[in-house]
Chain A
């Protein structure tokens, strides 16, 4: 699946450039795209190191377990495959919290850790498990309490009340998260019926 999408994006782009006369833009895009990716990853190092360091302390102190105990009823229903008291629960929850508070930077390392733990549960296979897909669905629909970047942009353009979209964003985000969970369930049951 990834392979096909990846090849299609690139090859269609190149074929398009031949017809469209945008070869020089494409040439530039190859290098700027690669550079952007590396810059992004380098930027991630500082945050990853800091947050994974902090979370290690939290994990060893038992804070992550406490957190997952608190929200256990919801999480066990969303992720029935994950055993109780598994560290994955704690990481999933901390990732969701970070997302809610608009801390996308802090959310990424926690999400990666959660994925790592879920892969362990799945026997280290290179195939996405049911819980991974659920987690991804929730993540891409991201429950946001405070959309900080958007508020900043609105302030830039002299909005009369930059924060008045907070309420609507919250409602929309809750709808999309519920939608994501339902869609995920639908695909799961379709898969399991197939065998």
Chain B
């Protein structure tokens, strides 16, 4: 485990050093290139603001009104039928929609059931193995101006479902119920 932690600690600084040294070796005007690339970063960050504001306001309204909770009530029996424990069902539903809400729920589940319980471990695995599909979709497609997303949302959400099922199966096998 120590090796993995060390890698994640060293990765970025070493990567930066390698890029800078290699760039110098290849006679790239490093500082000028850095500034050039950085300018693009500002453009992108500013251009995604409207996309995120629109999406986050819609999601916040949906959540604050109680509608999310209501619809979760409908989805819960379906998820439970597939084998999702009732405590985990809300997290499984919210994970693709809101990253911050999911993170809050994960901490809450750990506080309630303990981090080393079945539920706690399952929540942790779920949180770590899937991503906020709506956020990724909004930011990536928003930044480059994609209006027709095709099958992207369907594919993303179905992949999340696979991830949820995989997390449940793996945690049950590794740690037992």
Contact = CB atoms under 8 A, between A and B. Distances in A.
Interface of A: 1-2, 5-6, 9-10, 12-14, 16-17, 20, 22, 25-26, 28-30, 32-34, 36-38, 40-42, 44-45, 47-63, 101-103, 106, 108-109, 111-112, 115-116, 119, 126-128, 132-133, 136-137, 139-142, 144-150, 153-154, 156-169, 171-173, 175-177, 179-180, 183-184, 187-188, 191
Contacts of A115: 140-141, 143-144, 146
A123 B170 CA distance: 42
Contacts of B75: none
Contacts of B145: 119, 126
A32 B53 CA distance: 10
A48 B37 CA distance: 9
B110 A142 contact: no
Q: How large is the interface on B (under 10, 10 to 19, 20 to 34, 35 or more residues)?
A: 35 or more
A41 B16 CA distance: 24
B7 A101 contact: yes
Interface string B138-170: 011101111111111111101110110011001
Which residue, of A5, A158, A183, has the highest number of chain B Cβ atoms within 10 A?
Answer: A183
Contact of A103 (B12, B46, B152): B12
A118 B103 CA distance: 31
Contacts of A101: 7-8, 11
Contacts of A159: 110, 115-116, 120
A60 to B, nearest CB: 4
Contacts of B121: 164-165, 168
A28 B37 contact: no
Given A13-B64, A28-B64, A41-B46, 10 more contacts: A33-B57, A36-B60, A38-B53, A56-B38, A132-B146, A153-B106, A153-B115, A157-B114, A172-B171, A173-B129
B131 A139 contact: yes
Contact of B42 (A9, A26, A45, A163): A45
- Judged by DSSP, the binding face of A is helix
- Judged by DSSP, the binding face of B is helix
9 contacts: A5-B153, A29-B65, A37-B57, A42-B45, A57-B30, A57-B37, A61-B28, A166-B1, A183-B158
Interface of B: 1, 4-5, 7-8, 11-12, 16, 18-20, 22-23, 25-26, 28, 30, 33-42, 44-46, 48-49, 52-67, 70, 96, 100, 103, 106-107, 110-111, 114-116, 120-121, 124-133, 136-137, 139-141, 143-156, 158-160, 162-163, 166-167, 170-171, 174-175
A45 to B, nearest CB: 4
A60 B33 contact: yes
A52 B38 contact: yes
